[in-house]
């Protein structure tokens, strides 16, 4: 082989090596590609999107009720011309099921819209409301499918589902993450300060207290206040509840939230 040929061969090999060298560490370019240590980086990036600064959420299950509390975004609380109802992260999925989306707001709205369609189809087909655990399973399946196709991306949202199980007649609280993993909880948190809120809840809930309806709400708000290290105002949070005696998902008004804040922080103006 001539020197020129050898040079071309060597150069070609070098180019291929550089190409392979550039491609080898790029495990995060495609959702379907595992890294060498078994990780899906795009799913981890989606979890990081949920934990971006600004929004933290807490859910607590009581003896006969379940409550979720979501922090409103800074824009919703500071923009005087903004209709705060238009930036809610709490969605009624059915009359009896609610969903709190923590993470990218657009992904949360899309998820809520699809969940509404799914629950409507379930009711039409089976003649009764979709149970909370079935909705959680569907959301988890939807998220998991997004980890298998290059044409999709994971949703940057952790969903909290709350409702009453009609068969067991008990309150239910579930979380679903971008990896397609769902769990039932006595209490849970998601978002920027989730670890701090979980630490608070673990201490308060370790003896499995039988929380009344007001205590359930106040426990959730207290956990959020502890995580954020500040006394919250009624305009800075939104609260969704479902009760066993009245299993209709509803949002508390600012006046109702204010009453609970006064009970938590007596003597302070909210």
Residue 29 shares a structural domain with residue 147:
no
Q: What phi and psi, each to the nearest 5 degrees, are found at residue 232? A: -85, 155
Mean pLDDT, range 118-138, rounded to an integer: 97
> Is the whole model's pTM more than 0.75, yes or no?
yes
CATH number at residue 257: 3.60.20.10
Residue 103 shares a structural domain with residue 155:
yes
Q: Provide the mean pLDDT of the chain.
A: 88
User: How many independent structural domains does the chain possess?
Assistant: 2
Between CA 138 and CA 133 the distance in angstroms is 9
Beta-carbon count within 10 A of 95 CB: 13
Residue 214 shares a structural domain with residue 157:
yes
Residue 95 shares a structural domain with residue 17:
no
Domain hosting 249: range is 50-264
Residue 35 shares a structural domain with residue 134:
no
| Confidence tier at 41 by pLDDT (50, 70, 90) | confident
Between CA 229 and CA 246 the distance in angstroms is 33
- Whole-number pLDDT of residue 11: 47
Residue 11 shares a structural domain with residue 140:
no
In a domain, 249, yes or no: yes
In a domain, 269, yes or no: no
Residue 164 shares a structural domain with residue 182:
yes
Mean pLDDT, range 34-56, rounded to an integer: 89
Between CA 48 and CA 52 the distance in angstroms is 6
Residue 67 shares a structural domain with residue 176:
yes
pLDDT one-digit tens code per residue, 210-226 = 999 999 999 999 999 99
In a domain, 195, yes or no: yes
Residue 246 shares a structural domain with residue 169:
yes
Percent of the chain with pLDDT over 70: 87
- Whole-number pLDDT of residue 153: 86
User: Of 169, 97, 171, which Cα lies nearest the Cα of 135?
Assistant: 97
Mean pLDDT, range 190-217, rounded to an integer: 96
- Whole-number pLDDT of residue 28: 67
Between CA 48 and CA 57 the distance in angstroms is 15
pLDDT one-digit tens code per residue, 74-117 = 766 677 788 777 789 999 999 999 999 999 999 999 999 999 99
Residue 16 shares a structural domain with residue 100:
no
pLDDT over 70 (residue 205):
yes
User: Of 59, 98, 56, 54, which Cα lies nearest the Cα of 76?
Assistant: 54
């Amino acid at each position: 082989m001539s020197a020129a040929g050898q040079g071309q061969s060597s150069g070609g090999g070098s180019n291929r090596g550089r190409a392979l060298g550039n491609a080898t560490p790029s495990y995060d370019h495609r959702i379907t590609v595992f890294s060498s240590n078994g990780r899906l980086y795009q799913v981890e990036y989606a979890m990081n999107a949920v934990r971006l600064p600004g929004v933290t959420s807490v859910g607590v299950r009581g003896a006969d009720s379940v409550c979720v509390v979501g922090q409103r975004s800074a824009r919703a609380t500071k923009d005087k011309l903004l209709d705060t109802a238009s930036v809610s992260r709490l969605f009624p999925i059915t009359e009896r099921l609610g969903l709190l989306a923590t993470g990218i707001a657009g992904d949360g709205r899309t998820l809520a819209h699809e969940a509404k369609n799914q629950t409507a189809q379930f009711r039409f087909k089976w003649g009764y409301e979709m149970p909370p655990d079935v909705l959680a399973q569907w959301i988890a399946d939807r998220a998991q499918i997004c980890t298998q196709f290059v044409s999709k991306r994971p949703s940057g949202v952790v969903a909290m589902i709350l409702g009453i199980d009609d068969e067991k007649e008990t309150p239910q609280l579930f979380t679903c993450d971008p990896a397609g993993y769902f769990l039932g909880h006595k209490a849970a948190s998601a978002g920027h300060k989730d670890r701090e809120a979980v630490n608070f809840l673990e201490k308060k809930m370790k003896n499995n207290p039988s929380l009344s309806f007001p205590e359930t709400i106040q426990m959730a708000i207290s956990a959020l206040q502890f995580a954020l290290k500040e006394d919250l105002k009624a305009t800075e949070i939104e609260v969704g509840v479902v009760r066993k005696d009245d299993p209709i998902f509803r949002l508390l008004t600012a006046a109702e939230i204010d009453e609970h804040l006064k009970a938590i922080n007596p003597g302070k103006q909210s």
